[in-house]
Amino acid sequence: MSHHATTPSPLSSRKASGLKGRIRVPGDKSMSHRALMLGAVAVGETTITGLLEAEDVLHTARAMAALGARVDRDGDGRWRVSGVGVGGLHSPDEPLDFGNSGTSVRLAMGLMATTPVTALLIGDASLSRRPMGRVMTPLELFGARFDASDGGRLPLTLHGARDAVPVTYVTPVASAQVKSAVLLAGLNAPGTTTVIEKVATRDHTERMLAAFGADLTVAVRADGQHISITGERELTAQPIDVPGDPSSAAFPLVAALISEGSEVVVENIMLNPTRTGLFLTLKEMGADLSIENRRMSGGEEVGDIRARFSHLRGIRVPAARSASMIDEYPILAVAAAFAEGSTRMEGLEELRVKESDRLAAVMDGLQVNGVPCTAGPDWLEVHGGGAPGGGQVATHMDHRIAMSFLIMGLAARFATAVDDGRFIATSFPGFLELMNGLGGHMGPDRAKVTS
C-alpha cells in the first residue's frame, strides 16, 4: 500500500461552490470486520457486497483464510467466505499479522479463544504498543492461555481452550471490543455466556450475530444491560450488503453544508443510533439534513442522507454524546468554524489517545488557518464566523485530520494544505476523486498555493 512510501504527500484544497451529486462512501469498517469473521465460522457461503477494502479489513480477511475459512474476492468486488462452522478453526501455519487494526486482533482473539488452536499474533509498531490485557483477562476465564510481550502487548501467542467453560463477565470499562471478544468466545463454549455492561456500547456484534442466527438475548436490568449467547449452536451463512460508514459520510455532508449552493446525497449509510451523534449535532446547529429511503440491512438500519448548504449556528455539544461521535469531532470542528457564534464540545478525553493526540491536532489546524479556539483537557470551543484558511496543517499521520482540513479548504477564503495525505487510504480509499467529482478542488500541494 502507498503509505509504506517514505515521502510525505502534501495535499491542498481551495474554495468550491455548488457541490452537487449522489455518491456512496466506503463500507462501514465495523461491519466489514464482523461479516468476514462470522462468515468464517458459519456453515455455508457468505457473500459480502460493499466490503471496505482498506488495509485494516484486508488483514482480517487474510487472518480468517489462515484459520481455515475460504475467502475469495470476485472481479466485481463481491467477497465470498466459505465458513468452517463454529469450533472449526484450525491453527495457522504462519503468524497472524493484524497490521494497525486493534479491532481485528481483539475480536479474532475472542473468536479463537474457545477453539483448541495455537496462533502467534503480530502487528505493526503502532499496534504493538497497544495493550491487549483487557481482552485477555475475560478470555482466560473461558480457559484460553496467552504468552504476551511485556505489558500484555503483541507479539503474543494464543492457546485456545481445549475444554471451554461459559463465562459471565461484567465489563470494567465501557468497550465494544471487549464485549465483542467475549460474545465471540461464547459461540463455542457450552451453555450460556453473558456480558453485563453498565454503560451500553456499540452493538454491531450483537446485531450481526442475530442476523447469522445466533441464540442471543439482551435484557436491561438494574445493574446494566445483560447480553447472553448460547454456545455450540451453528451459524448460517448470510448475504451481507455492508452499508456506508457514517464516519466517512460526514466529510462530503459537511462539505455540502459549508459550501454555498451545494446539495449532496450520500446513499446507503448506516444509521445505527450508536453512530449518528454527528448528524443529530449538525441538525441542532441548523443543518438542512434529511434522511430518505430508510431500510434494514444485515441487522442494521440504513438510509440515504441529503445535505444542503446551511447557515449554521454554534451550540454546546454535551459530553454524553461523545461516545456516538468520537471520530467525528475533527470534522465537526470544521463545521463549527463556519457557524455563527461559538461551539463548545465536551467529553473529549478519549481524543487524546487516538491515532494521534487528535484534540491538539484539531486545535493547531484551526489556529494555523485563522480560526480562534480554546481548549482544556477534555473540551474544545471553536469561535465561528468563517475560516480565513491559508495555513498548512500537520496531520500527525492521522487520516481524519487530513480529510477534515481538506474539507475546510473548500469553503475557506484561501486554500488550505495538509502536510501528508497518504494515510487517508486507511479508511477512505478514493477520497480525493470522490470530492472532486462533486465539484471540489483538491490535489497535490505544489508549494504554497496562492488563491
Catalytic residues: 327
Q: How far is CA 11 from the centre of its chain?
A: 23
Contact 65, 71 (CB under 8 A): yes
Q: What angle do CA 275, 312, 329 make, to 5 degrees?
A: 35
CA distance 199 to 358: 24
CA distance 406 to 436: 11
CA distance 8 to 303: 37
Largest CA distance in the chain: 68
Phi/psi at 154 (5° precision) = -75, 155
CA distance 270 to 402: 23
Q: What angle do CA 370, 421, 402 make, to 5 degrees?
A: 40
User: Would you list the DSSP string of 71-103?
Assistant: EEE-TTS-EEEE---TT-----SSPEE-TT-HH
Contact 139, 117 (CB under 8 A): no
Contact 113, 142 (CB under 8 A): yes
User: Would you list the DSSP string of 430-449?
Assistant: THHHHHHHTT-EEEE--SSP
Contact 255, 440 (CB under 8 A): yes
| Residue 265 in grid coordinates | 446525497
Contact 258, 264 (CB under 8 A): no
- In 189-223, the DSSP E strands lie at 192-197, 215-221
